[in-house]
């Protein structure tokens, strides 16, 4: 027997002795502690046959080695999922996914760019962002439909389909739960503006922007869009575009009293009133800023341009940070319906029309939502209103 074989044999005997002395309950506790966050890891406790057909007897150390390997793979998986969700180094990340196919089956806990937690595989994370092909994209466009592109990285496409099916099992209920605080925030902000006596057509735009009550309403809505740190998305969408349909319908329902019997009911005071414009500049840009990164290029180009030109713009690359022209979007600056950036400090520069071009805006959002649902195999109502009519009343 060679010296190296004798050393190897001694090491194996030594490990077996230590393993035999270590109480099984301690082994279990150690593996459970180290395995936190790796739910799909299950230690082997029964004898098994390896690839050569030889019977193997699992040891604590063998399980520990497998677990450490798994944890390294989970870390790589989290990197892949984060890069796809945040739109970092897309091509490089897809290549990494193809080279590490086992990572595609591991669920990881990550945050989206706005701080929303989700527990998902890389494919499910792309689905949660609604990162699918949309209608009429550029023929030469890159980085489109990451969910579809990632699906091609699987060794067996059926495994991808199984992940999609698991993610969409409770998609409607999960999306409603995730979106409910934001829907409530729109309703509350609309109500605040309607009831605010300081905001009226009798004051100038500049005066309104400096009102403490207006600044408070603006700040309250911004805070209301911060995700709940205790909520983890495990199905559905991170931020559904149906929120824009809700905004349009809420605005239409509260613009004036033309369509209701009670003419004394408080409202925004008209289609182009100071309160209506206040609602637009407080809510609309912040919803744009909260959309998934895969859709931000749509707003940057302008919804009206996308509709009229009948094509979706190329995706934005966040590998080197937030693009300069997106800086502060949702705060002091906003993208108008035509894709131009406006400074809200001047009424002359407010994008008159905005989401109030309801026919085009509604049709556009319907098309986007329906396309995303079709990719998931979901057949919903014509308006695809995930959040439900029960949320539409401002009260």
Q: Which of 76, 105, 94, 234 is nearest to 163 (CA)?
A: 105
Give residue 240's pLDDT band: very low, low, confident or very high (50, 70, 90): very high
Q: How many CB atoms lie within 10 A of CB 75?
A: 12
Which pLDDT score is estimated for 38? 54
Among candidate residues 138, 169, 200, the one where a domain is terminated: 169
Among candidate residues 169, 198, 219, the one where a domain is terminated: 169
Helix (H, G, I), strand (E, B) or coil at 199: coil
Are both 2 and 104 inside the same structural domain?
A: yes
Are both 200 and 83 inside the same structural domain?
A: no
> Is residue 264 within 8 Å of 304, Cβ to Cβ?
no
Are both 184 and 161 inside the same structural domain?
A: no
Give residue 377's pLDDT band: very low, low, confident or very high (50, 70, 90): confident
Tokens for 191, please give them: 């109500």
Rg, C-alpha atoms of the chain: 27
Q: Tens digits of per-residue pLDDT, 52-110?
A: 777 766 666 565 555 555 656 778 899 999 999 999 999 999 999 998 898 899 899 99
Nearest-angstrom CA–CA distance, 261 and 259: 7
Number of domains in the chain: 2
Q: Tens digits of per-residue pLDDT, 269-322?
A: 998 899 998 998 899 889 999 999 999 988 888 888 888 887 888 888 899 888
Helix (H, G, I), strand (E, B) or coil at 318: coil
Among candidate residues 169, 200, 220, the one where a domain is terminated: 169
Tokens 């890159």: give the residue.
Answer: 142
Domain that holds residue 307: 179-391
Are both 10 and 59 inside the same structural domain?
A: yes
Burial class of residue 20, CB neighbours in 10 A (0-12, 13-18, 19+): exposed
Residue 174 domain flag: no
> Beta strands 55-56 and 48-49: pairing type?
antiparallel
Tokens for 395, please give them: 């009260």
- 169: DSSP letter: T
Are both 254 and 137 inside the same structural domain?
A: no
Nearest-angstrom CA–CA distance, 142 and 374: 21
Are both 3 and 137 inside the same structural domain?
A: yes
């Amino acid at each position: 027997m060679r010296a190296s074989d004798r050393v190897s044999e001694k090491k194996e005997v030594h490990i077996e002795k230590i393993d035999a002395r270590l109480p099984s309950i301690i082994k279990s506790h150690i593996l459970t502690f180290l395995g936190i966050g790796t739910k799909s890891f299950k230690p082997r406790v029964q004898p098994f046959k390896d690839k050569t057909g030889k019977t193997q007897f699992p040891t604590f150390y063998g399980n520990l080695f497998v677990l450490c390997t798994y944890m390294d793979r989970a870390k790589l998986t989290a990197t892949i999922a984060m890069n796809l969700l945040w739109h970092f180094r897309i091509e490089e990340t897809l290549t990494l996914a193809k080279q590490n196919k086992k990572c595609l089956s591991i669920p990881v806990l990550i945050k989206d760019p706005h701080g929303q937690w989700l527990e998902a595989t890389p494919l499910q994370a792309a689905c949660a962002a609604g990162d699918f092909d949309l209608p009429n994209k550029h023929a030469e466009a890159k980085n489109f439909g990451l969910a579809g592109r990632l699906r091609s990285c699987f060794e067996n496409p059926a495994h991808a389909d199984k992940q999609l099916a698991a993610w969409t099992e409770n998609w409607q209920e999960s999306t409603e739960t995730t979106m409910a605080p934001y829907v409530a925030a729109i309703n509350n902000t609309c109500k605040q503006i309607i009831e605010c006596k300081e905001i009226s057509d009798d004051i100038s735009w500049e005066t309104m922007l400096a009102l403490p009550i207006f600044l408070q309403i603006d700040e309250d809505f911004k805070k209301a869009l911060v995700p709940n740190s205790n909520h983890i998305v495990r199905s559905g969408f991170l931020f559904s575009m149906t929120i824009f349909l809700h905004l349009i319908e809420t605005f239409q329902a509260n613009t004036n009293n033309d369509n209701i019997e009670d003419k004394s009911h408080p409202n925004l005071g008209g289609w182009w009133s100071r309160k209506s414009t206040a609602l637009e500049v407080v809510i609309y840009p912040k919803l744009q800023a909260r959309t998934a990164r895969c859709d931000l290029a749509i707003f940057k180009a302008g919804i009206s341009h996308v509709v009229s030109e009948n094509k979706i713009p190329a995706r934005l690359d966040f590998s080197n940070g937030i693009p300069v022209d997106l800086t502060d979007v949702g705060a002091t600056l906003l993208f108008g319906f035509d894709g131009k950036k406006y400074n809200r400090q001047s009424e002359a520069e407010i994008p008159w029309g905005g989401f109030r071009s309801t026919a085009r805006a509604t049709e556009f959002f319907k098309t986007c939502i329906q396309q995303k649902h079709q990719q998931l195999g979901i057949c919903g109502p014509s308006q695809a209103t995930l959040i439900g009519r029960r949320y539409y009343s401002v009260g």
